[in-house]
Amino acid sequence: MYLITLAEDMGKIFVKYWDMFLIKGLSATILLSLLTVVCGTLLGAIFAVIKISRVKALSWIISAVVEVIRGTPMLLQLYISTFLIPVIVPAMNELENKKLICIALTLILNSAAYVSEIIRSGIEAVDKGQSEAARSLGLTSRTAMLQIVFPQAIKNILPALGNEFITVIKETSLASTFYVGELMTQYHKIVGTTHNPLPILMIIGIIYFVLNFVLSKGLGVFERRMKASA
């Protein structure tokens, strides 16, 4: 009986607040996740190249930053950034969406730290003989990295990058602590009106599951096509 009642409550709440779940919450979650993944991947690639470069000072600095980020909880990083960034950059205090910007920057930096390790391992997995052969043909180290090593590394690390995207989508739920509009923020708003948390949590759980399931299947298809074209 309770499960039937729960299902009925879920249906009623979803029909009444579907726009908050799908238009506001889901769209904010997807946009924040895409921004984090795209910028985090680009920054992570830069971190990875610096880490394997011959400039030891920069390599040590980036390695230290990566280790600190990977060794501390995401929620702690979000709290620190929302207080620290406006102090370091006073102009942030004049922005209307300063909390969202601080959270986005923190998510990007956190993602970059993990992506840098994924990319670094992918680069190091490529046979060094290929880059040496490219340089013997007259290509510069930079050109060899971009045209020979990186394309092969991407194919090797694509599954791990896909998993990172899925992880980022789930980690955006921590941003609800600062009420930036994603799915878990909508939970707090709706539960304040309905005072019935479980059906709302179940609806959000289903949305997260469907989103990640579709994404994982799509990444699987893309990965198979990449292997087929190799």
Name every residue whose Cβ is closer than 8 Å to that of residue 124 and which is 6 or more positions away in sequence: 52
Query: What would the pLDDT profile of 183-192 be if each residue is shown by its tens digit?
Result: 888 888 899 8
Cα–Cα distance for residue pair 162/142, rounded to 1 Å? 26
Cα–Cα distance for residue pair 176/6, rounded to 1 Å? 24
The structure tokens listed for 23 are: 């238009």
Query: What would the pLDDT profile of 195-208 be if each residue is shown by its tens digit?
Result: 899 999 999 999 99
Per-residue pLDDT, averaged over 70-83, amounts to: 90
Architecture of the domain spanning 2-229: Orthogonal Bundle (1.10)
SS3 67: helix
Cα–Cα distance for residue pair 172/216, rounded to 1 Å? 17
Q: What is the DSSP letter of 19?
A: I
Query: What would the pLDDT profile of 34-51 be if each residue is shown by its tens digit?
Result: 889 889 989 998 998 888
**Domain segments of the chain as ranges:** 2-229
